[in-house]
Amino acid sequence: GESVGLHLPTLSVQEGDNSIINCAYSNSASDYFIWYKQESGKGPQFIIDIRSNMDKRQGQRVTVLLNKTVKHLSLQIAATQPGDSAVYFCAENESSGTYKYIFGTGTRLKVLA
Amino acid sequence: GAVVSQHPSRVICKSGTSVKIECRSLDFQATTMFWYRQFPKKSLMLMATSNEGSKATYEQGVEKDKFLINHASLTLSTLTVTSAHPEDSSFYICSAESGGEETQYFGPGTRLLVL
């Protein structure tokens, strides 16, 4: 079946450096993508989203890039801080009218002091 | 804005008993709520989609008689795990979206431990 996946299960980054978390998706019909941050024992927290008619969207310290040609999504975090340590999930909207999400497997980001 | 709460945050119960988990949207009306299950170090698995005033739609492999969902109002959905067994122990998370807006906002989760 179609799914969303991530290339790297764990990413270690030095504090202050930029982080890039990647995600591959296979459903070409998906038109909405979201990045969530999940800290241990907590629910996912919305970070940023992007629609399929955009290639890039910026937030505060975060940027999401969408490459529809290769079906790739990435989350860039600038000046990574210890508080950014968490598991990051990408999700795609199936675009079926029910707003159901398909979640990726997640990437753990470890920020090294 | 877009705050979702869950209650309880943690529950321990004996095998064979039923447990009810509440999911509330605090500052918006949620036409649709979703229930997920998450095992340790795993991704979120959608269990069911709940629309206010109608029956929930369950994902394949999820027993509707085991996991009863009620979405009685635009701000409240409940998940009842009936006759719980140790294998039902998990982290249950709900999310809510307001009509037409595709973004789902998640609750803090409920940790269920069945002894």
Give pLDDT tens digits for B77-109.
999 999 999 999 999 999 998 776 778 999 999
Q: Is B46–A41 a contact, with Cβ atoms under 8 angstroms apart?
A: no
A44 interfaces chain B, CB cutoff of 8 Å: yes
How much is the mean pLDDT over chain B? 93
Taking the C-alpha atoms of residue A34 and residue B8, their distance in angstroms, rounded to an integer, is: 27
CA distances from B108 to A29, A67, A89, B23, B40 (A): 30, 31, 16, 10, 15
Question: Is residue A2 very low, low, confident or very high in pLDDT (cuts 50, 70, 90)?
Answer: very low
Among A23, A77, A31, A20, which residue's Cα sits nearest to residue A54?
Answer: A31
Confidence of residue B2 (pLDDT cuts 50, 70, 90): confident
| CA R_g for chain B | 13
C-alpha A22/C-alpha B7 separation (Å) is 33
A43·B108 Cβ contact <8 A: yes
pLDDT number for residue A5: 52
Give B-chain residues touching A106 at CB under 8 angstroms. 42-43
